[in-house]
Structure 1
């Protein structure tokens, strides 16, 4: 949708209105239907500041909502699902129970939507496809494997274990590079001080 500044002549008086339309013809049509006057001209213009801010806010919120769920949170969800499924609780009921118990709004929304889709006849893996960016491709693959083998609990336990190993390795890696990074930063600061204050200027 674009914005158009439409100039209209009504009872000998000329005025303009700002309209949101698909194209110039659509803007003229809307102007005629709302004002009843004669359209002099219509020209495309930039959106109002408040509208630009609104669109930016909506886009930002959408991106935040689609940001990947923290690995530790995902591990907790998968582990709970595995335990509940292993106890004979249907996936739909398990998802609903976890959704109702979490304080994380995004996680609650995702789990509730998954439960609704499953209740509507969609498979668990198909429902997960919509949230691949948040939950990861590994989650979708393992759930599909669980459906194919008929042992969802085992697939969920395996997924939780894999995610835990990944999380542990990431933590170890971050810890391992922390000291070298601090050392490099200290060397950079020392070099800057040396060049700036110690080395005589010629």
Structure 2
């Protein structure tokens, strides 16, 4: 199936909005494919193989073209489906109801595919497993556990609760930086207004008097002239650098890894990132272990749900530790750059007492509280500092304007 491998390799390089798909998506005609130069030497495709290729490729393309379900969307999906199942609604009928409520075309097409799979006798987790990019491996694993134990509605409610906790934690981290970002943008906006609009109107008055200007005024004048001539170019350059950085982070795993590593090691910001990732990974791992998933199987699932590549690499390394027959606490106690010592020691206690899942859940609650407290303290410390910086910048410009005016009035009234 060389053709299938080639197509999958190409599709794996596509972004989430590669191109729209229609339900009647078809591969090019078989005779046309056989004439293409890149397929010379490949074995002849039988109609059965061709049909399998078309089906698998469509699923792959649908996975990459369907927008990801946000945490909020996954939470509502799980909660509503659990409610319908508890109310006695058959699974396929409940999915039809969810399909009718789908707002985006990509999600509707994906649910159409899921409904088709369920009608053909496939399990919900197996059908969702064809779209790991849309739902995530964690959601798929919880569904599989619920199906195997006959507690699908309970697992869906538990999944919704866990996704809600993750969403709340993300909001806390984001909210900690909203106010500083607003103050920073306000400072830049006020400075730009003074330098590009107000100060250029005053400069001719100062220069026409042939008087020696204070140092602060000369500095602001030079900055104003620079911004008038090069400000637009600088702004375009900043935007281009931002776009290039975003593209590199998405396309290059190496760049993304070093960026995440720098973020983790950054003062203040790095502390929040560490606490946030520890809270998420310990909660997810504890939930999977509590649900009966083996530690060696749970660690790769948790790694796939972790966006920070540094912690993803650490989780994969923990998986290798488990496969060697070692305890994860021994690695965590040594690796204090990303995990505080208390994490390794608490997990060691859980391993000895046979309560590893409960210990992990306790650690997640501990670090959720740490994130909450740290973000509150950070806002308390950063807000006054930013106000001082804003006052210094605006005050410096105001003094540079007022000082020459005061000198002019002194010369007029000897």
Scaled by the length of structure 2, the TM-score of the pair is 0.32
**Equivalent in the alignment of 1:159:** 159
Does the 8 Å contact 1:81/1:95 carry over to 2?
Answer: yes
Q: SS where residue 161 of structure 1 aligns?
A: helix
Matched, 1:180 2:180: yes
* CA 110–25 in structure 1, closer or farther in 2 if over 3 Å, else same: closer
Other-structure match for 2:220: 198
Q: CA deviation at 1:186?
A: 5.6
Quick one: distance in 2 between partners of 1:73 and 1:125?
17
Structure 2 partner of 1:53: none
> Partner residue of 2:345?
none
Task: Please report how far the alpha carbon of residue 74 of structure 1 lies from its aligned counterpart in structure 2 after TM superposition.
Answer: 2.2
Distance 2:171 2:107 in 1: 23
SS in 1 for 2:95: helix
Once the 2 structures are TM-superposed, how far is the Cα of residue 96 of structure 1 from its aligned partner?
A: 1.1
In 1, distance between residues paired with 2:120 and 2:221?
74
TM-superposed deviation, 1:70: 2.5
CA distance in 2, matches of 1:152, 1:88: 12
1:92–1:118 CA contact under 8 A, matched in 2? yes
Distance in 1 of aligned mates of 2:178 and 2:157: 32
2:37 aligned partner? 23
Q: Report 1:110-129 matches (<5 A).
A: 110-129=110-129
Q: Which position in structure 1 is the counterpart of 2:171?
A: 171
- Which piece of structure 1 moves more, 116-125 or 182-191? 182-191
Kept in 2: contact 1:125–1:140 (CA 8 A): yes
* d(CA) in 1 for partners of 2:222, 2:106: 58
1:118-168 superposed Cα distances (whole Å, 9 cap, x missing partner): 111111111011111011222101101101211000000011111111112
Q: CA contact under 8 A between 1:95 and 1:112: conserved in structure 2?
A: no
Cα shift readout 1:65-99 (whole Å, capped 9, x = no counterpart): 33312322222221110001112222111101210
Distance 1:151 1:161 in 2: 15
Q: Which structure 2 residue ranges, 5 or more long, are not aligned?
A: 4-31, 41-60, 196-215, 224-414
Count of residues paired in the alignment: 150
- Spell out the pairing of 1:49-198 with structure 2 (5 A cutoff): 65-185=65-185, 197-198=219-220
Structure 2 counterpart SS, 1:81: helix
Higher helix share: 2
Measure the CA separation in 2 of the matches of 1:24 and 1:163.
45
Q: Over aligned residues, Cα RMSD in angstroms?
A: 3.5
Following the alignment from structure 2 to structure 1, what is the Cα–Cα distance between the partners of residues 220 and 93?
70
> How many angstroms apart in 2 are the aligned matches of 1:128 and 1:115?
10
Q: Which runs of 5+ in 1 are unaligned?
A: 2-18, 27-60
Change (3 A) 1:109 1:197: farther
Q: 1:25 to 1:184 in 2, by over 3 A?
A: closer
Higher strand share: 1
Conserved 8 A contact 2:78-2:160: yes
The Cα shift of 1:184 comes to 4.6
* Aligned match of 1:11: none
Q: Following TM superposition, where does structure 1 have runs of at least 4 consecutive aligned residues deviating by more than 6 angstroms?
A: 61-64, 187-194
